Amino acid sequence: MSRFASIEQEINPQQINATSTTQQVPLGKIIRAEDKDTTAYGVGEFIYLKGVASTAVGSVVVYSSDDFGTALASANDVGPIATAMSACVANNFGWYQISGKGVAKVKASFADNGDVYLTSTAGSVDDADVAGDYVQGMKGASAIGTPDTGLAEMEMSRPSVSDGKDD
């Protein structure tokens, strides 16, 4: 799996793949970090958010720019999208990826280079076309199972979903 490390000038008190029961940095803070593992995903952007129940590594969330809370993304959601870097459950705090190459939970048979759509399974995405649930700024970069079971690599550029409201 990837091992992102901050490349910012300031010290980051919480590792990118860690969860904390106490808030370590301001909510909504965005930093850049580089993958230092053999996965070599390069540099990505990460936002510090509050967790939600049942979050696992790769869970796809929609988050609020009002209170920086998260909800596991599912069909018909609207808003900015991020992927969890840790099992950041309710009443915890952690980093979520918003740009660069990373991973997301996907449904069975997700194909390499697939377009990404929200599903009725909260926290997971698929490449099956669902009207209104296309995730802009997110594209599959591997098939399901890479780098691990139930995950696929993604290319992200501050993804969001509009539930077809701006079509």
**Which tokens is 28 given?**
């909504």
Q: pLDDT (tens digit, 9 = 90+) per residue, 87-112?
A: 999 999 999 999 999 999 999 999 99
Q: Are 72 and 83 in contact (CB under 8 A)?
A: no
Give yes or no for a contact between 13 and 25, defined as CB atoms under 8 angstroms apart: yes
- Summarised one tens digit per residue, pLDDT across range 46-61 is 999 999 999 999 999 9
End-to-end CA distance of the chain: 36
Query: φ, ψ for residue 161 (rounded to 5)?
Result: -135, 145
Residue 166's pLDDT band (boundaries 50, 70, 90)?
A: low
pTM flag (> 0.85): yes
